[in-house]
Amino acid sequence: MKIMSINAGSSSLKFSLFNMDNEEVIASGLFERIGIDQSKYKIKYGDEQISQEIDLPDHAVAVSILLDKLIDLGIIKSLEEIEGIGHRVVSGADVYGQSVPITDKVINDLIAFKDFAPLHNPAHVLGIEAFKKVLPKIPMVAVFDTAFHQTMDEISYLYPVPYRWYKEYKVRKYGFHGTSHRYIALTLANELNRQDLKIISCHLGNGGSITAIKDGKCIDTSMGFTPLSGIMMGTRSGDVDPSIIPFIMEKEGKNASEVIDDLNKKSGFLGLSEYSSDSRDIEDGALEGKANCILAEEKFVRTVVNYIASYYVLLGGCDVLAFTAGIGENSINTRMKIVEKLACLGFQLDVEANNVRGQLQKISSKDSSSMIYVVPTNEELMIARDTLEIINR
Ligand code: AMP
């Protein structure tokens, strides 16, 4: 059975086509610069890869080309082979606690939630509409980044601000990266054959979030109303005192959105190091002794460790500390620095085992109080699994 997983952005469309019998990717690719000049696509299948510059005036054209190419390249024989399509959706607000079949009501809700994900939700709707137009009969499923976090209690999700803001405007913590954190929780439950785990899941990529998980459910997470809060990230500040915003507005003659833009795009690794948003450059710079890179690296580690420590207390301990996403899966050095700072809680790495990139592996020593794992995330597969499960109901 073949299922397609889609991540539609405002000018892009990323896809993975899975054979769900063995959960392997048959083909994957990216359509870029949709609706602007120099649009192009690339498709990978087996050991082959093709790419082409081609006019992509809108998402529907991109979807038609994608489906034609899947047939032309012999990846599928007919479109009927694709039995379902799962769409990544950033915000399901506080309405969707799990993945759902896409209906007109769901589409209207996604449009209504655009205030909570202004860059993403309208783009997802473009992707959904494009598939509806080209493949009107195929069942589609929405998989929300926020859904996994809907199990937080109000102590976790409410901010200590006027309660009216929550009642009237739904100002609360929503959390993001939920599909990734859910994948980590499921993978560890399968790996350890235990459902009753206290997990601290660290998704450390260009964007990053940390989630406290108990018995497979999210208890708290570091991102909030938007993906700007929590730990320091590639270009995002993470948590800062909001009074900085009017202060900088005044100093630099900017409006609030311009300062928020600075916090989203000019902060984090990039802002503090004045060098790069990419953790590899920061690591290299730190090794060369660049003071600004050392500072950025230390600050990142500190913000991550602070969340881990606070979730350790919230969960009343931790069975597994998990590292995932670009930095979490690949940066041996960053994992070492983080775990070193957690020694007072009994966390201990096995240095040899930690010498690993991008594969599921236990990296804690036998004396560690908690297990520590590297778990490669796979949001696309999680979307495909949900889609299969829902269309089989
Ligand atoms: P993501 O957003 O999950 O793609 O992660 C991007 C981040 O992962 C960037 O900061 C990269 O520098 C980092 N990253 C990717 N590969 C490596 C690697 N081999 N070693 C260290 N960091 C890496």
Distance 280 CA to ligand 1 centre (A): 7
> Known catalytic residue: 94?
no
Domain residue limits, the chain: 2-144, 193-379
Atom of ligand 1 nearest to the CA of 333: 21
Q: What is the mean pLDDT of residues 279-300?
A: 98
The CATH number given to 193-379 is: 3.30.420.40
Distance 235 CA to ligand 1 centre (A): 13
Taking only the tens place, the pLDDT of each residue in 47-104 is 999 999 999 999 999 999 999 999 999 999 999 999 999 999 999 999 999 999 999 9
- Protein residue with its CA nearest to atom 15 in ligand 1: 326
The verdict on the CB of residue 205 being under 6 Å from ligand 1 is: yes
**pLDDT band for position 332 (cuts 50, 70, 90):** very high
Check whether 330 has a pLDDT greater than 90.
yes
- Give the pLDDT of residue 195: 97
Distance 358 CA to ligand 1 centre (A): 10
Taking only the tens place, the pLDDT of each residue in 6-40 is 999 999 999 999 999 999 999 999 999 999 999 99
The Cα–Cα gap between 186 and 209 comes to: 17
Distance 206 CA to ligand 1 centre (A): 7
Percent of the chain whose pLDDT exceeds 70: 100
The verdict on the CB of residue 279 being under 6 Å from ligand 1 is: yes
pTM above 0.75, yes or no: yes
- Protein residue with its CA nearest to atom 8 in ligand 1: 326
- Give the pLDDT of residue 303: 98
**Residues 274 and 267: beta-carbon distance below 8 Å:** no
Q: Which of 324, 330, 338, 357 to mutate to test the pocket of ligand 1 (most atoms within 8 A of CB)?
A: 330
- Give the pLDDT of residue 188: 98
- Give the pLDDT of residue 8: 97
Taking only the tens place, the pLDDT of each residue in 176-205 is 999 999 999 999 999 999 999 999 999 999
Q: What is the mean pLDDT of residues 107-123?
A: 93
Catalytic site residue from 109, 115, 145, 281: 145
Angle between the 291-315 and 279-287 helix axes, to the nearest 10 degrees? Answer: 120
CATH architecture of 2-144: 2-Layer Sandwich (3.30)
What's the number of CA atoms in the CB half-sphere (13 Å) around residue 284? 6
Q: What is the mean pLDDT of residues 98-125?
A: 95
Q: Give the strand order in the sheet containing 371-374.
A: 217-221, 208-214, 198-204, 320-324, 371-374, 361-362
What distances in angstroms separate CA 132 from CA 141, 215, 381, one per listed residue?
Answer: 12, 37, 22
The verdict on the CB of residue 234 being under 6 Å from ligand 1 is: yes
Range with the poorest average pLDDT among 111-125, 230-244, 269-283, 313-327? 111-125
The Cα–Cα gap between 342 and 317 comes to: 13
Distance 300 CA to ligand 1 centre (A): 14
**Residues 250 and 188: beta-carbon distance below 8 Å:** no
Q: Which of 206, 283, 332 to mutate to test the pocket of ligand 1 (most atoms within 8 A of CB)?
A: 206
pLDDT mean across residues, the chain: 97
Check whether 119 has a pLDDT greater than 90.
no
The verdict on the CB of residue 280 being under 6 Å from ligand 1 is: yes
